[in-house]
Amino acid sequence: MKLQTPLSVEWLATFLDAKLIGNAAQLATGINEIHKVVPGDISFVDVEKYFDKCLHSAATIILINKEVACPEGKTLLVCADPFSAYIQLVKQFAPFQKLYTPISETAIIGEGTHLQPGVVVGNNVRIGSHCLIHPNVTIYDNTIIGDYVIIQANTVIGGDAFYFKTRSGKDLKFEKMESCGRVIIEDHVEIGASCTIDKGVSGDTIIGAGSKLDNQIHIGHGVVIGKNVLIAAQVGVAGKTIIEDDVILWGQVGVNKDLTIGKGAVVNGQSGVTVSIAGGKTYFGTPAIDAKEKLKEMAWVRRIPEMWEKLTK
């Protein structure tokens, strides 16, 4: 998330009651989780085995719970609970905005776009031209939708990320990671009925131009879907996955988090993608492997009773 106005690290240290180490003249221009950071961003780390990764990332200002050597050009803000400090910043600069009318007065809706009855459009939403939004679709704040987009009934765009920190020894076991990202839907996308597309925790969930989603699909936070991707019903894609152009996911495919599906890959129905897979091939099974190899494996498995009977005679 980009900040509307840069923040001095001295102001941040005071606001968060943190000890400042390193460059005291920095200005923060964004808030991001570690895999999305760019120069100028604030990020956080509270687990020692990830210190090095965060300290040497693109983040300029790092919330951390231990005094360590500060890399050149960076600023550390040392506090007892970096996760809670990060959430404090998100709530301060991306607070929840109440909606009092079905269509926010701050929403921008393009020429020729039609909204059927029951559609809810949140604050600062932008919808392009010649779109068709069917009944009871809910579009959360800050969503951006391109031109010639069709969204079928009861779909929800921009819900919060499913992201929690596990706390031990507290009544509140799971602490919510507040979301400040967006959903971006590019031109000529079609989204079926009763789909759910979560916004990014701090960055964007993106559906690329020309992609088509069937009914009852879930797209997790921060997922990036390329152009002309086809996704059949009941597919679930976990957070921060990258699906490159021209991929096809057939019905009930499950995709794990933090992986990449290469350009032009086809994943057959009811498969489970557990690791990154290369493009240009067809996959099947759980874990998904080359479909031809999986069919050979299944053929051998079917022969096990026959082979066992021969061996035991």
pLDDT tens digits along 190-210: 999 999 999 999 999 999 999
Task: Indicate if the pLDDT at residue 169 is higher than 90.
Answer: no
| Cα 72 to Cα 69: distance, rounded to the nearest angstrom | 9
Domain 108-296 sits in CATH at 2.160.10.10
pLDDT at 303: 85
Count other Cβ atoms within 10 Å, centred on residue 203.
22
Q: Is the separation of the CB atoms in 264 and 280 below 8 Å?
A: yes
Find the helix or strand (DSSP H, E) in which 183 lies: strand 182-185
pLDDT at 230: 98
| Cα 187 to Cα 185: distance, rounded to the nearest angstrom | 7
Which residue matches tokens 């819900």? 159
Nearest C-alpha neighbor of 195 from the set 245, 240, 149: 149
Distance between first and last Cα of the chain: 69
Task: Indicate if the pLDDT at residue 117 is higher than 70.
Answer: yes
pLDDT at 168: 79
pLDDT at 96: 94
Q: Is the separation of the CB atoms in 188 and 151 below 8 Å?
A: no
Q: How many residues does the chain have?
A: 313
| Cα 20 to Cα 46: distance, rounded to the nearest angstrom | 16
pLDDT at 224: 98
Is 108-296 in the same CATH topology as 2-93?
Answer: no
Which of these is catalytic: 134, 188, 218, 221? Answer: 221
pLDDT at 170: 63
Compute φ and ψ for 280, nearest 5 degrees.
75, 15
Mean pLDDT computed over every residue of the chain: 95
The pLDDT tens digits of the residues spanning 4-31 come to 999 999 999 999 999 999 999 999 999 9
Beta pairing, strands 254-255 & 272-273:
parallel
For the chain, give every domain's residue range. 2-93, 108-296
pLDDT at 272: 97
Q: Give the mean model confidence (pLDDT) for residues 157-177.
A: 87
Higher pLDDT pick, 304 / 146: 146
Sequence letter at residue 294: K
The CATH class of the 2-93 domain is alpha beta
- Give Cβ neighbours of residue 226 (< 8 Å, ≥ 6 apart): 208, 211, 242, 243, 244, 245, 246, 247, 263
pLDDT at 35: 84
Of the ranges 34-43, 161-170, 269-278, which is most confident?
A: 269-278
Nearest C-alpha neighbor of 288 from the set 263, 313, 312, 252: 252
Strand partners, 254: 236, 272
pTM over 0.85: yes
| Cα 7 to Cα 41: distance, rounded to the nearest angstrom | 10
Task: Indicate if the pLDDT at residue 171 is higher than 80.
Answer: no
The pLDDT tens digits of the residues spanning 56-75 come to 999 999 999 999 999 999 99
Task: Indicate if the pLDDT at residue 49 is higher than 70.
Answer: yes
Q: Give the mean model confidence (pLDDT) for residues 69-84.
A: 95
pLDDT at 190: 98
Cα–Cα separations (whole angstroms), residue 202 to 82, 95, 131, 224, 268:
16, 13, 27, 13, 32
Nearest C-alpha neighbor of 1 from the set 86, 123, 82, 72: 86
Cα–Cα separations (whole angstroms), residue 219 to 33, 202, 237:
19, 16, 5
| Cα 267 to Cα 287: distance, rounded to the nearest angstrom | 11
Residue 221 known to be catalytic: yes
Q: What percent of the chain has pLDDT over 90?
A: 90
pLDDT at 245: 98
Compute φ and ψ for 20, nearest 5 degrees.
-90, 125
Q: Give the mean model confidence (pLDDT) for residues 92-97.
A: 94
| Cα 48 to Cα 10: distance, rounded to the nearest angstrom | 25
The pLDDT tens digits of the residues spanning 229-288 come to 999 999 999 999 999 999 999 999 999 999 999 999 999 999 999 999 999 999 999 999
Q: Give the mean model confidence (pLDDT) for residues 81-93.
A: 95
Q: Give the mean model confidence (pLDDT) for residues 287-313.
A: 88
